[in-house]
Amino acid sequence: MIKALPKELQVALTIVLTVIILYYGKEVLAPMAIAGILAMLFVAPSAWLEKKGCPRWASALISIAILLTCLTGLGFLLSWQLQGFAEQVDSMKKNLTETVSNLQEWIRDRLGIDQERQKAIAEEQVKSGGATTGMAQQFASGFFSLFIDFILVMVYTYLLLFYRSRLKNFLLRVTPNNLQGRTIEIVDSASQVAAGYMAGLAKMIVVLWVLYGFGFTSIGVENALFFAVICGLLELIPFIGNLTGTAITILGVTAQGGDTNMILGVVAIYACVQFVQTYLLEPLIVGNEVNINPLFTIFSLVVAEALWGIPGMVLAIPVIGIVKIICDRVPHLKPFAYLIGSDKKAKKSFWKSKK
């Protein structure tokens, strides 16, 4: 007989095999993972509707309708704001031309590279006109792929809500009788944590829209609501999203001809909103739903981005929270739960009803 592998080697091989499957199975697994998190978010509303006599197929369909309504409203809001950009195209082109000209002069004065040489370097990067056609084809292909993934996510979310009892019973059938109680506890806790985190995050994003919108409007930023919505939505990606949103706003203000005072105003608003978010919004609205220490929060974001890109970064925090719940309830995995966890005591969200 072949001698069993040491436990440490089994763990290492399992991790390596999991990473390989996640990396090469991205196209198949990413839509299912996103749908799983969304389904967890709508489990409680669906269960409430079913208690009121609504059949399961209808409760799942209503949940999908609510989700699509929210996404459609957000799309109309962004398109409405983008109309303002369309009216400012000529003005923005002029401002960008002036900005590029000033940048070229700065490069010439500081680095000694004249404008002709700068133009030649830029043309070498573009490699004649074929790049434009390639970019257009790539954009069309990416948009079509995104549309297909969106449809898959909606379908998966509906089916996961509809068949959630069957999935739960499957887990019980493959679990020994003496561990079924723990399995139910893990499933319920993981669902509650993922749903609580995503619901709290959605509420916080709405509050951030108001704060950013009021702040950008007060300093005279054009299309302030558009930039506020972008900054809020990018909060889906922890740490990196808020910096990206602020950078986009600064670039937009620069293209619109904003002066230095307006740019400094954007930075000041970003700093104030981040202070309010960190010390007020997150403790009161989101709470410590996942309770992961900063080291593994950042590490999970980096790994998720390397495996699945932006979808991975959005899913990283709720997934690592679910992993911690599993580790907390499996005796030989508790050291890993301690490693990735935080010493902070979990706080209930301000929005949760007190029993």
Q: What are the backbone dihedrals phi and psi of residue 256, each rounded to the nearest 5 degrees, phi first?
A: -80, 0
The DSSP code for 285 is I
CA distance 39 to 322: 14
User: What does the buried/exposed string (b/e) look like for 114-129 if buried means 16 or more CB atoms within 10 Å of the residue's CB?
Assistant: eeeebeeeeeeeeeee
Opening angle at CA 301, ends 183 and 240, nearest 5: 135
CA distance 247 to 253: 10
Assigned token pair, 348 = 């209930």
Opening angle at CA 140, ends 135 and 141, nearest 5: 95
Dihedral over alpha carbons 74, 77, 83, 86 (to 10 degrees): -50
CA distance 267 to 353: 36
How many Cβ atoms from other residues are within 10 Å of residue 28's Cβ? 11
Q: How many residues are there in the chain? A: 355
pTM: 0.72
Residue-wise pLDDT tens for the chain (355 aa)?
445 667 667 777 888 888 898 888 888 888 999 998 888 888 888 989 999 888 999 999 999 999 899 888 888 877 776 766 655 555 555 555 656 565 666 556 555 565 566 565 555 554 544 444 555 566 566 667 778 888 999 999 999 999 988 988 888 888 888 877 888 888 888 787 777 777 888 888 888 889 998 998 888 887 788 888 888 888 877 777 778 888 888 887 877 776 778 888 888 999 998 888 877 777 766 655 567 787 888 888 888 888 888 888 888 888 888 888 888 877 777 888 888 887 655 555 444 444 4
Cα 179 to chain centroid, rounded = 34
